[in-house]
Amino acid sequence: MGSGLPETARALYVGIENGNEVTAIDTATNRVIATIPNGQAAQALVYVPGAAPAEAAGVENLQPLGLAGAAAHLTLAAPGSSISTTVSLFDQGLTQVLQAAVAGLEPTKPYLLVLASNADGTGPIEPLAQFMTNPAGAQVVTAVWPIRQIVDPAPQVPDVRRYLAVMTIENEKPGRPVQLQQSSVSTTGAR
């Protein structure tokens, strides 16, 4: 894949689950020697020796990821908290894959990741995923859902937005919002 690694280097390749890259680590020095964009949240990594001819650059059958290579990155946090949840949103056409590295919640408690009508987590909600935090109050949550919306530019259509939030579960029903989407959104793309 043209990683630029010396032939003598022994490398460990690590897929970054809530990112869009693979990191190569030199096992002799424990240092990052390459960062390879892959455009999707890595779930597995497969190495096939000799997959490309030795005289080839190794990229003959590769093509740009296009829309699937773009990722939006969001942050959720409790008001005044320094601990935040990071969210990556990858387009898959009509649906998106959402991966949230949730942190800063009560240990071993059930929660909901939702789309809320209001930025403060109130109003009608659309549950995306229910999850249980681990003993550290964290969890990795994945949902496949039509999260992004097509916005109709017609003036008579109101600008309806939805906001990500984490809510408690109380008496088996959605409770109060404990983490809210922060205002900044960054979008990155990979080839």
Distance CA 35, CA 14 (A): 10
What residue spans in the chain does CATH classification 2.60.40.200 cover? 66-150+159-182
Q: Is the pLDDT of residue 190 over 80?
A: no
Q: 1 falls in which pLDDT band (50, 70, 90)?
A: very low
- For the ranges 1-5, 37-41, 46-50, 122-126, the maximum mean pLDDT occurs at 122-126
Q: 169 falls in which pLDDT band (50, 70, 90)?
A: very high
The H-or-E segment that residue 13 falls in is: strand 11-15
For the chain, the maximum distance between any two Cα atoms, rounded to a whole number of angstroms, is: 64
- SS3 percent helix, strand, coil of the chain, rounded to 5, is 0, 45, 55
Distance CA 142, CA 129 (A): 7
Give me the CATH topology for the region 66-150+159-182: Immunoglobulin-like (2.60.40)
Backbone angles phi, psi at 173, to 5 degrees: -130, 160
